[in-house]
Amino acid sequence: MRKLALLSCLVLLCSQLWAQNRIISGKVLDEKGNPVPGASVQIKGSRRGTSTTPDGVFSISVPASAKAFNVSSVNFTTQEIPISENMTIVLKIATNPNLQEVVVVAYGTQKKSEVTSAISTVNADAIKNQQIVSVGQALQGTAPGVLVVNTNGQPGENPTIRIRGIGSIGASAAPLIVLDGIPYDGNINMINPQDIENFSVLKDASASALYGSRAGNGVILITTKSGRRNAAPSINLSAVYGISSRAIKDYDYVNTQQQFELGWEALRNTYLSSTNPATVANAIPLATQNLIKNGFRYNPYGPSFPNPVGTDGKLVAGAKPLWNDDWTKALQRSTAARRDVNIGIGGGTDRSKYYFSAGYLNQDGYVIKSNYRRVTATLNYNTDLTNWLTVGARANIVNSKQNFPAQGDGTYSDVVQYGRTMSSVFPIYARNDSGVIIKDVNGKPIFDYGKPAPLPRTVNVNRPVLAPSNVVGTVNLDNWNYDRLLTNLNTYGQVNFTKNLFFKTTFGINRYVLDQLHYEDKDFGDASNLGGRVYRQQDLTTSWTFNNMIGYDQRFGDHHIEAMASYESYKYNLESIYGSKTGFAFSGQQQLSNATTAEQFEGYTVSSTLVSLLARVKYDYQGKYFAEFTIRRDGSSVFAPGYRYGTFPAGGISWLLTKEDFMRGVSFVNFLKIRASYGALGNQALLDGSGNASYFPYLNTYASGNNDITNPGVYLNQLANYRIKWEKQVSTNIGIDFELFKSRFTGSIDLFQKNSLDLIQNKPLPPSSGFGSIITNISKLQNKGIELNLAYGILRSKDFNWDVSFNITYLKNKIVSLLPGTDTFAAVGAYRNVVGKSIYEFYMPVWAGVDPATGGGQWWIDSTDVSGNPTGKSVKTNSYTTAQTKQKWVGSGLPKFTGGFSTKLGYKGFDLNVLFYFALGAKYYDNNYSDLMNGTYSGFGSQLSTDELRRWSKAGDITDVPKLNSSKNDEEQRSTRFLYNGDFVRLRNITLGYTFNSSDLTKKVLKSVRLYVQADNLLTWDHLKKGSDPESALNGNANGNAFPFKTLSAGLDFNF
Amino acid sequence: MTKIKYKLPLFYTGLCLLLLVGSCKKSFIDGIKPTDSASPADVYASADNVRVYFNGIYRNIRAQWKSTDGTAGGATDTWGYNSVFMCRDVKGIDIVMPYNSWYYFDYQNANREPTYRRVKFMWYFFYELINQINVLIDGTTKSATINDGDKKLLLAEARALRAWFHFELAREFSTPYSKDPNAKGIPVYTTPTSDSTKGNPRGTLQQTFDQINTDIEFAMANIGSSQLLKDQVNYNVACGMAARIYLEQGKWAEAETAAINARKDHTLDAAGYPNNYNGLSSSEVLWGFPQTTENGGQSLYYGTPSSFFVQDGSGYGAFWMSKTLVESFSLTDIRNTFYEYDNDLTAPDAYGTNKFGTAVGSAFDVPLLNGDQVPLKTIDFNESLNMMRMGEMYLIEAEAKARQNKATAADVLLALQQNRDPSAAPSGNTGQALIDEILWERRKELYGELGIDWLDAKRLQLPIDRTTTNHPVPYDYIIPANDPTFELKIPQTELQANKSMTAGDQNQ
């Protein structure tokens, strides 16, 4: 207590020195004598200061004791100038402005030159130049080591983000998101990209170990904008309007005539394979006779052509389709709009700074009804209450609404796959036997649900594809909405005991409400037999973090020590209530109260907690040698008592070579630093077998809600593993940062290796045990790679500036060990986990083309001699079942190389930005295309690719497309037939802008106006079938989601 | 200025306290517990509580099912117990599938490879339930608070189910018992699974049946007679199970007795047949699964039989009837609920059945073959499933007696026939002809409910002959007796994870 009193006396002493003041004024000029506007003039040793006017002039009241100003401005070296009357200060252009940059690190900030770890930063400019919805998308191609995959073109969906590879198999591999210092538990689509000042991606152990058991997969620190001290209010108003459409064109489908001719051939082939000789003998006339009745059941050629395909397999002359409906077109928007309006106001006085922003985004998806709207408002305020106490708060409220028509789930209401399945053979509106549209009593056409009808109707009913359904009809009646509300409040107070010692307390709370409403229409669609259904779910997530920190910073001659110790507690709480009811009286009503019968009404609460102690010590000698050590000890409620605590230490060193005497002579090297780090991290984000967060893996749980009619019931749903513990990541990083040729050429190289140990996986049990698996710490993974980041200022002149930058990451993911004997059965879909291969290593039969004799598929297998030993040769087999027993590793779904290339050109008022993203070395399995090569197996009239026109049709045909066959589809099964080289380059963004400066405009009010046009996802180069999107999934397996969209937009930025 | 002097120390003291409070609350971590489940201590505290676990097990037997780790079940054709029956039904002769739909692969008798959904579902489903039962048996046996009388009742019920689930597995994954009792059986489990479970061996079919017999005999001797719902196994149900189990083993005398005991306090109900005893209230039904869309959506929805049998467009409408079976019903038979669907009476979709679904909400009328104009049934999401009916018990008794050459066999058959069709006359058949008549009667009585024609073909080593009726090309074939397609293969995952199995344990 005595010490504390002493400390406070010190503070008091300081404050008493501000007794007498004088007014000092002056002017700040650059080396050419031009005034520098907006330069910061700060009294040394205090926070008090001012900034210069547009004429470079300043005036400030200073205490008698003040000796000097710190004068700084963007692109100039900060200088310390002794105070005198009527000063003229000349600022020098900074030789290496980047080094003055401050980087946001775990629990604080550091100068870029002092950093010992691997951190990628992405600033507001990179975000501004992209028309994104979810902030994660801004990291694609801009941050080396960060893999961003846009797996869904539904606006508002988040990309999959992985930092330095895939660090986990059975637990979550997603990075921790920290927003302004507080772990973020909302949906990241709720963060307005326009509010972001910068991203810091913490990639190695030294950078992220302070986040301990949550840092195993890397950490993304998001810092939002704040005002500036001593700055007049700056108002930025921006508005963008854009048009979006799918970035990739659709597959090519066969037309109605081709459908019929191919269908005829398939039916003939089926009859030819009959065991009944009479059927075989009459295969051709039977195919013609039965094509409608046993095949399509719809006849678009009308009653005049009851057998539209003749015995020659060709459409009968004169037959014209009565309808030719394009389902895909009917399920997509012709114009999807993007509207984005933002306002930001920032500024500050000598004691405080503030930032206020508000934004509105409205983005349509190209899929019908798909839409995302978001309103955000933020207030960020920091102030020095006294000269020893600073407080600050950031409050943020966001509301978003997302219309999300079903996609990628393979249900009958899947809007994306529906168009990929329904061909033009089938009409959108119901047709009678003569092909005339059937109308309701009001004269409106009725949608065709493809239902069977009682006799005597035999044609244009009972559709063989996706019956009963009509998504064109129901998508407008159904509703699938996500309404989200996020409020978060981050507050802190900091007490500076002395210049060197501070105490900071931080409390941040997120409250996130997800409200889902899913309505299925009462008259049409899946729930029509129930009179409609509404499903409603409300999830309330509350999470808070309370941190108390003591910090210390002291120089002793050449030695500089910075230390921090902190105690933190975190609580996560999810309350979920959901229910559904059926039976609506009126169409149009969609609320629970409107319906009659309660199907379900459930609710539960889950919580998890974490307590932590953390500390950091940083030391440097002469600003030349740096060392940093961090440690965190976490205790988590997710594990059993006895397994709850884990310790995660890390250390890093760096050496600033350019400060050494021997480097003085090497004039072209402006900056050169070597870094190395090593440390341990953890991962506690456990998942259950269904991929949901698991909070009690150590308990046998008898789940409630398994009621039998009205009798209450429980059911054992989890086999506990009491010994489950953290996943661990041990990470090593070596890096070099350099700046050459007057800092025009800058870059960094990082080598990293991340070993993941004790990875949680579901250890398979014999299924006869009643549980397929038990959660266990089994496997080891390794991710290693190289990151290279280069930037070059090609031209720097008064009017013309040209910069290019390039980054590339090489990554190798490898399973190091699995529990003995488990290697063979970790097969997941197209993948198989074995030691030595990546976790997304494709494993499948190898396609060997079509047998010219039979038209069936062939697959390569390793041949064996009579005693079963491999002969080293490959032979072809006609049996898919045989090929399945001899599958092969055929490449990984993970790209080997990813990166970005960007260029920035400025000429007078013009600016041009271009960003490319590329991913190389991955394989891509195209499920969507294989579905279109089903050879009529999926039903007559199901969409077929135009490639089916090349099918084998008679002995001797040399082709790569097998015989049509409606009863067997081995050739459509998984094999390398549908595996492609996944390399691609995407032009992520191109922006052309022109800025009108204040001289062009009315001076006082408007500072500048920028007008720009831009295109996002304009072009893609790949090796895939037309219609496939190479970015479909992290693992290289195509999915059925909407594809990314391209957006052409124009915008205006006003600065007041 | 002087004010600050006092405030600061106070402020610091406050912060120190705050730190202390934060770190001292041990319950901050240890107090976190699940809110949506019960602990073993709760479950085995009393007989009533064990009943709650039983309820949960019955619910998972009858409703939409997905394995606890989400790796099996969950599709419309692997949606719980009804999928077991429906896939057997389409593998046989009496149900015709002209078009691709759910179960089409089963209809082709091709859905049996070790990685297929059908195979995994059948194996995972029954073995998950076996483990749940073993967990219940273990917990109940060890409970210190349940009295011995209650324990016996609970254990008898549990062991009946354990016998039944092993029996179902043996019927799917082994060759018929009648062919070779020393052929490979299925792994038998009688203790709960733990993290050290290595897997049990296949053993012989005889060993499998020894355990089944022991369990079902214990059950018949100790089980109670009450039923909370028709899905609960009581004395009658246990006897009915035993009747089927004995029939499979050719234990005719035991089968006869068990079938007779199963019928205790129940009567045949012809009037209920046209509605397939929907709702289970009929005395005809010994064991059945209720369904409701209420109280948590405890329904099969589009997975119900009516979704596949009704032809009014409200469901999948994928199943039609075999012409030969339809034509064997007399017009006065209450079970003759068939109608012509196609003008071409040789077509695969020539005949539909109006047995399944509900007339409530029907939009069309349909003329049945017997001339009645009735509402064409529509899909019923709450359609109950019959697991065991009186009709079958009569037919088991008849068959068992006929196999023992008992003269009363024909009388038992006739009793059922006349209940269903008042004008039925004795056929006068004896010997094998009588047995054939009984087997045919089983198909007429039970089609679409249990997969009876496929089960009987397998049990009695008969072929599946589809050539004599209206199956579509190319599935109008003959599967020879004892063909390997009668057995599902052992799931790949089992062969790989089970330490007691080798590649040689796979079926042909």
Q: Which residues contact B504 (CB under 8 A, 6 or more apart)?
A: none
Smallest CA–CA distance from A776 into chain B, residue: B195
Q: How many CB atoms lie within 10 A of CB A352?
A: 18
Which pLDDT does position A1 carry in this prediction?
A: 41
Eight-class DSSP state of B488: P
Is it the case that residue A11 has pLDDT exceeding 70? no
The span from the first CA to the last CA of chain B, in angstroms, equals 94
Burial of A249 (0-12, 13-18, 19+ CB in 10 A): exposed
The pair of three-digit structure tokens given for residue A826, joined into one six-digit string? 């970790």
Q: Are A308 and A316 in contact (CB under 8 A)?
A: yes
Gap between the Cα atoms of B242 and B245, Å rounded:
5
Average pLDDT, chain A: 87
ipTM: 0.94
On the 0-12 / 13-18 / 19+ scale of CB atoms within 10 A, A868 is exposed
Q: Which residues of chain A make contact with B19, given a CB cutoff of 8 A?
A: 548, 567
Residues of A within 8 A of B295 (CB-CB) are 598, 600, 707, 709-710
Q: CA A962, CA A953: separation in Å to the nearest integer?
A: 8
Of residues A495, A546, A772, nearest to B69 (C-beta) = A772
d(CA A947, CA A950): 6
Distance CA B434, CA B413 (A): 9
Q: Residue B379 has what pLDDT?
A: 92
Span of A329-333, A407-411, A942-946 with lowest mean pLDDT: A407-411
Would you state the pLDDT for residue B313?
A: 79
Per-residue model confidence (pLDDT) at position B320: 95
Is 70 exceeded by the pLDDT of residue A18? no
Q: How close B360 gets to chain A, by Cα (Å)?
A: 12
**Interface check B127 vs A, CB under 8 A:** yes
DSSP string computed for B119-152: HHHHHHHHHHHHHHHHHHHHHHHH-SSS-HHHHH
**Nearest Cα to A467, choosing from B450, B318, B454?**
B318
Which residue do the tokens 């490898």 mark?
A: A814
Judge whether A1010 and A204 are in contact, CB under 8 Å: no
Q: Do B195 and A719 touch (CB under 8 A)?
A: yes
Q: Name the packing angle between helices B117-142 and B81-91 (round to 10°).
A: 140
Better pLDDT: A544 or A51? A544
Q: Out of A273, A467, A582, whose CB is closest to B293?
A: A582
Confidence of residue A3 (pLDDT cuts 50, 70, 90): very low
Give the DSSP H/E element, type plus range, for residue A781. Answer: strand A773-796
Task: Give me the tens of pLDDT residue by residue for chain B, a chain 508 residues long.
Answer: 334 444 555 556 556 555 555 555 678 888 888 888 898 999 999 999 999 999 999 999 999 998 887 778 888 999 999 999 999 999 999 999 988 889 999 999 999 988 889 999 999 999 999 999 999 999 999 999 999 999 999 999 999 999 999 999 999 999 999 999 999 999 999 999 988 899 999 999 999 999 999 999 999 999 999 999 999 999 999 999 999 999 999 999 999 999 999 999 999 999 999 999 999 999 999 999 999 988 888 889 899 999 999 988 788 889 999 999 999 999 999 999 999 988 889 889 899 999 999 999 888 889 999 999 999 999 999 999 999 999 999 999 999 999 999 999 999 999 999 999 999 999 999 999 999 999 999 999 999 999 999 999 999 999 999 999 999 988 999 999 999 999 999 998 899 889 999 989 999 8
Q: Are strands A196-202 and A119-123 parallel, antiparallel or unpaired?
A: antiparallel
pLDDT the model gives residue A934: 86
- Which of B58, B134, B313 lies at the smallest CB-CB distance from A468? B313
> Which residue among B43, B60, B379 sits closest to A706, beta carbon to beta carbon?
B60
Which residues neighbour A250 within 8 Å (Cβ) at sequence distance 6 or greater? A328, A1027
Tell whether the model's pLDDT for residue A137 goes beyond 90: no
Q: Which residues of A592-629 are buried (b: 16+ CB within 10 A; e: fewer)?
A: eebbeebbbeeebebbbbbbbbbbbbbebeeeeebebb
pLDDT tens-digit readout, A373-403: 999 999 999 999 988 899 999 999 999 999 9
Could A635 and B317 be called an inter-chain contact, meaning their C-beta atoms sit closer than 8 Å?
A: no
- Rounded to the nearest 5°, which phi and psi values hold at A105? -120, 180
Confidence of residue A8 (pLDDT cuts 50, 70, 90): very low
Bridge partners for B191 per DSSP:
none
Residue A24's pLDDT is what? 82
Determine the pLDDT at residue A1003: 59
- Show residues of chain B in contact with A636, CB under 8 Å: 29
Q: Write the DSSP symbol of residue A482.
A: E
Question: Crossing angle, helix B431-446 and helix B390-403, to 10 degrees?
Answer: 170
Rounded to the nearest 10°, the torsion over CA A582, A583, A586, A592 is: -30
**Which residues numbered 15-74 in A keep a CB inside 8 Å of some CB on B?**
15-16
Q: What is the mean pLDDT of residues A122-135?
A: 82
Q: Is the dihedral of CA B373, B379, B381, B385 positive or negative?
A: positive
Is B494's Cβ below 8 Å from some Cβ in A?
Answer: yes
pLDDT for res A156: 85
Instruction: Give the residue carrying structure tokens 């700040």.
Output: A28
Under a CB-based contact definition with an 8 Å cutoff, are residues B84 and B125 in contact?
yes
Q: Do B23 and A704 touch (CB under 8 A)?
A: no
Task: Report yes or no: A582 at the B interface, CB cutoff 8 Å.
Answer: yes
B250-289 residues touching A, CB cutoff 8 A: none
Write out chain B residues lying below 8 Å of A772, CB-based: 67-69, 71-72, 124, 493
CA distance A461 to A453: 6
When pLDDT is cut at 50, 70 and 90, the band that residue A827 belongs to is very low
- The pair of structure tokens assigned to A15 is 């404050």
Contact (CB, 8 A) for A852 and A958: yes
pLDDT band at A998 (very low <50, low <70, confident <90, very high): low
Pick A534 or A134 by higher pLDDT: A534
Residue B296 backbone phi and psi in degrees, to 5: 100, 25
Cβ count near A1003 (within 10 Å) = 10
pLDDT of res. A825: 44
pLDDT at A33: 73
A2, pLDDT greater than 70: no
Please tell me the least confidently modeled range out of A318-322, A719-723, A980-984, B20-24: B20-24
Q: Is the pLDDT of residue A278 over 60?
A: yes
How would DSSP label each residue in A94-131? PS-GGGG-EEEETTEEEEGGG--S-EEEEEHHHHHTS-
The two three-digit tokens of residue A726, written as one number: 């953290």
pLDDT at A758 over 60: yes
* Predicted pLDDT at A440: 87
- Residues A940/A464, Cβ–Cβ less than 8 Å: yes
Closest CB from A546, A688, A765 relative to B497: A765
**β-pairing verdict for B338-340 and A979-981:** unpaired
The upper half-sphere exposure of residue B128, i.e. CA atoms within 13 Å in the direction of its Cβ, equals 30
A670 closest CA partner among A748, A741, A749: A741
Q: Locate A632 and state its tokens.
A: 């965190």
Model confidence over A475-533: pLDDT tens digits?
A: 888 899 999 999 999 999 999 888 889 999 999 999 999 999 999 988 887 788 888 99
CA distances from B227 to B56, B153, B230, B258, B278 (A): 15, 12, 6, 19, 18
For B49, the 3-state DSSP assignment is helix
The pLDDT tens digits of the residues spanning A907-920 come to 988 999 999 999 99
Evaluate if residue A16 carries a pLDDT over 50.
no
d(CA A685, CA A676): 28
For the purposes of burial, counting CB atoms within 10 Å of the CB of A13, is it exposed (0-12), middle (13-18) or buried (19 or more)?
A: exposed
Distance CA A41, CA A61 (A): 11
- Which residue in this structure is represented by tokens 């549990």? B158
- CA A563 and chain centroid, separation: 35
Q: For residue A94, what pLDDT band results from cuts at 50, 70 and 90?
A: low
pLDDT at A689: 66
The pLDDT value given to residue A456:
67
Instruction: Give the model confidence (pLDDT) of A571-618 as tens digits.
Output: 999 999 999 999 998 878 899 999 998 988 999 999 999 999 999 999
A713-745 pLDDT per residue, tens: 999 988 888 899 999 999 999 999 999 988 889
Q: Quick check: A304 pLDDT over 70?
A: yes
**Whole-number Å distance between alpha carbons of A725 and B415:** 66
Partners of A870 in beta bridges: A864
Residue A994 pLDDT exceeds 70: yes
Confidence (pLDDT) at A636: 92
Q: What is the share, in percent, of chain A residues with pLDDT greater than 90?
A: 48
pLDDT score of A348 more than 70: yes
The one-letter amino acid at A995: T
Cα separation, A747 vs A737, whole angstroms: 6
User: Tokens at residue A539, please?
Assistant: 């999830």
Neighbouring residues of B95: CB distance < 8 A, sequence distance ≥ 6: B89, B107, B319, B320, B321, B322, B447, B448
| Residue-by-residue DSSP string for A730-779 | EEEEEEEEEEETTTTEEEEEEEEEEEEEEEEEEEE--GGGS-SEEEEEEE
Closest CA to A926 of A1007, A989, A804, A842: A842
Segment among A14-23, A65-74, A454-463 with least mean pLDDT: A14-23
List the one residue out of A524, A515, A520 whose CA is nearest residue A479: A520
